Amino acid sequence: SPIPGLLAFSIALASGSVVANDDPFGGDGGLWDIPLEELGHVRVTSIASGTQTPLDKAAAVATVITEDDIIAMGATDLDEILETVPGLHVGRSDQGYSPKYNIRGITSSYNPQTLVLINGIPITSMFIGNRSQVWAGMPVKSIARVEVIRGPGSALYGADAFSGVINIVTKTSNNINGTKAGARAGSFDTQAGWVEHGGSYSGFDIGFTFEYETTDGQRERIQQDFQTGLDAAFMTNASLAPGAVNTMKDMIETRLDVAYDNSRFRAGYQGRSNIGTAPGISQALDPSGRFASQRFNADYTYTLNDLTPNWGIEGRLSYYRGTQEVEDNILVLPPGTFGGAYPNGLIGNPELKEENARIDFSGAYRGFSKHIVRLGTGGYWGDIFEVKESKNFNPDLSPKPGLEDVSGTSEVFLPEKDRTSYHFFAQDEWQFADNWQLTSGVRYDHYSDFGDTTNPRLALVWATTDSITTKLLYGRAFRAPSIAELFASSNPVALGNPDLKPETIDSFEFAFAHQLSSKWRYSANIFYYEIDDYITFVDTGTGTQQQQAQNIGERTGYGTELETDYKPINTLRLLANYSYQKSEDDKTKTDVGEAPNHQIYGRSEWEFITRWHFDAQVNWVGEQKRVVGDSRTPVNDYTTVDLTLRQFNVVNDLDISLSIRNMFDRSVYEPSLSPGVNIPGDYPMAGRSIYGEIAFQF
């Protein structure tokens, strides 16, 4: 069998405190009626189909993580939340240690294959196709919940919903209900503070969050870097290795949510400054380079659920603007590189601005018996502008007389480009029998720079018994080539290709969930996928090191994800999940590498004394194999243990907590860029860290 031991044991669908009491078919005794008095509170999600649906009966394999979960795990950043999701591993990019959300073994240098949404709206950068090259994390105080689809989602969400979809839902006035303030301090000279407020004023429901954090970042050391190899070739000693990675950062995260009648307006600002380059942008340590980024988003949504007895409609306008800025010169290579040809170092300062606007309309029709029909259309406009670069080297890497501004010339790292697209989609949720529902859908997208693509989906859900649900799923998705992959023309290493096609994936899943009792539930799923036209950079054959983007990759993957959630007594909750994946390159018949084949996660939540909580989590990440051409041994597996001790209402609404991450100070490494290995010892992650937190509700 190509999927060994997929059902060797069954571990869990985590559930929690969101009550599911909406029946999209009017509570007629059909598939979605849930006896809450028997099954307990059940999580719901709308990310899978647009309809609020119990998680086990959603038309996808999905996970919902609530604010209570986030508090219990002691998470301070989105990455720490996502690492608890089965089948999802947070790797690290060579660019500033930006996170790579590797789902089911689908990984690449910049990770554009995972779509991240904030309140249902993509935050994708046109430049590389990921969230941003200067991401620097996302703190958690503005997050109400996180919804994750593992598997394709292009039939609903369009481009880049390839390996999965992550939707970050921010807090509204209802989530906050009053005024809260808090502070945190701890390892790496980290200080943070926040304030939240939610209330109603003359019919307006207003939610507001503001969070600030500054940190020197972890300082784990790299023993050898790219310059180490150059030193050996040029008989020099320019490398700054051994030396510490540069992970300092300052962050501002603020959100506003205003709801009135059928309207909702949201705005967010993510300010990032003093951002270190981690291992260096070219895998050579750079202790002085600093980036910054300013990201602003706003959206307005109008919803009318009762336009007619059978029609509900929604319209939405959204806008996003982001920047990549250089605060201090970025050392591509350190002083003395290339035999002393660059006494001040090889310097390159890439900057850009981009913005996009979206308009979306959708309607849900319930006039057909046992059907919900959704129709929608929308358009997108994006623009990369004010592309700037100053550098002290020529395209052939010979020195310039000094630092030269090449903005507006053929030497700039990226041309200024815009992109437009439009889409249409249709979906039908059909309950053709009391215990059966078929969700079918298709979406058509047309892009101005590479053409069109059509992506269907099917989801057959069977309420096998009152407590067992079985699902059979199929989906097709695409990943749009980034502007850099299409049009980069003056990069001495990587060239774009305007003839690229989108990457595509076809995925098949079988899922099973069982609610044993109101206190115990578990689930299991198996999946299989085929990827075509994967974009890979290959040698141009010109005798240089230059490579060009090509649609030549083909991959096949399969695996399983198992979860359990058990509450043996009212004061104790136990959760666990296990995931296995194998992703192979169809041409070489080898593992694609750079993602763990096995992962295990467990958490206990224990209220051992009234208002005192002790939460512990353990995360085991299996070894990560190398890509073809990289002869190093696999990255070792590792186990981390995190503990959080909390007391609520110490005095007059004052809460305190203490968290220890990686309590046993285990060595944790993520694979460095390969096969051209520039940091042989991989990327070191943080050791033990300790944080204390205090919060007060007014």
34-74 pLDDT, tens digit per residue, is: 443 343 456 778 787 777 888 888 889 999 999 999 999 99
Least confident among 37-46, 220-229, 578-587, 596-605: 37-46
**What pairs with residue 363 in β-bridges?**
313, 375
Q: Are strands 290-304 and 371-393 parallel, antiparallel or unpaired?
A: unpaired
**What confidence category does residue 545 fall into, taking pLDDT thresholds of 50, 70 and 90?**
low
Give the whole-angstrom CA distance, residue 54 versus residue 260: 27
Q: At 56, is the secondary structure helix, strand, or coil?
A: helix
**What pairs with residue 606 in β-bridges?**
572, 614
Residues 6+ apart with CB under 8 A from 316: 121, 299, 300, 301, 302, 358, 359, 360, 361
Q: Is the pTM of this model over 0.85?
A: yes
Mean pLDDT of the chain: 91
**What confidence category does residue 492 fall into, taking pLDDT thresholds of 50, 70 and 90?**
low
Residue 7 has pLDDT above 50, yes or no: no
- Answer yes or no: are the C-beta atoms of 102 and 91 closer than 8 Å: yes
Mean pLDDT, residues 391-408 taken together: 93
Radius of gyration of the chain (CA): 25
pLDDT at 686: 97
Q: Left, alpha or beta for 515 (phi > 0: left; psi -120 to 50: alpha)?
A: beta
Residue type, 143: I
Mean pLDDT, residues 652-679 taken together: 93
Angle, CA of 314, 317 and 322, to the nearest 5°: 145
Give the whole-angstrom CA distance, residue 513 versus residue 500: 40
> Of 438, 488, 477, 444, nearest to 458 (Cα)?
438
> Of 585, 613, 587, 582, nearest to 599 (Cα)?
582
225-263 pLDDT, tens digit per residue, is: 999 999 999 999 999 999 999 999 999 999 999 999 999
Residue 18 has pLDDT above 80, yes or no: no
Mean pLDDT, residues 206-220 taken together: 97
Q: At 18, is the secondary structure helix, strand, or coil?
A: coil
Give the whole-angstrom CA distance, residue 316 versus residue 11: 39
Least confident among 368-372, 538-542, 576-580: 538-542
pLDDT at 3: 31
pLDDT at 191: 98
Give the whole-angstrom CA distance, residue 561 versus residue 104: 9
Task: Kindly write down the DSSP assignment for every residue of 211-273, as one continuous string.
Answer: EEEEE-----EES--HHHHHHHHHT------SEE-B--EEEEEEEEEEEETTEEEEEEEEEEE
412-467 pLDDT, tens digit per residue, is: 999 999 999 999 999 999 999 999 999 999 999 999 999 999 999 999 999 999 89
Q: What is the dihedral of CA 106, 112, 116, 117, to 10 degrees?
A: -140
**What confidence category does residue 543 fall into, taking pLDDT thresholds of 50, 70 and 90?**
low
pLDDT at 23: 37
Least confident among 8-17, 48-57, 188-197, 493-502: 8-17
> Of 130, 121, 146, nearest to 267 (Cα)?
121
- Answer yes or no: are the C-beta atoms of 241 and 223 closer than 8 Å: yes
Q: Compare 546 and 651 and report the one with higher pLDDT.
A: 651
Residues 6+ apart with CB under 8 A from 620: 598, 599, 600, 601, 637, 638, 639
Give the whole-angstrom CA distance, residue 152 versus residue 160: 9
- Answer yes or no: are the C-beta atoms of 132 and 46 closer than 8 Å: no
Mean pLDDT, residues 400-416 taken together: 93
pLDDT at 511: 97
Mean pLDDT, residues 260-275 taken together: 98
pLDDT at 34: 45
Q: At 523, is the secondary structure helix, strand, or coil?
A: strand
Q: How far from 505 is each of 66, 87, 167, 256, 583, CA to CA, in Å?
A: 30, 17, 20, 36, 13
**What pairs with residue 506 in β-bridges?**
476, 530
Would you tell me how many other CB atoms lie within 10 Å of the CB of residue 543?
7
Q: How far from 139 is each of 221, 281, 534, CA to CA, in Å?
A: 25, 24, 32
Least confident among 41-50, 282-291, 339-348, 504-513: 41-50
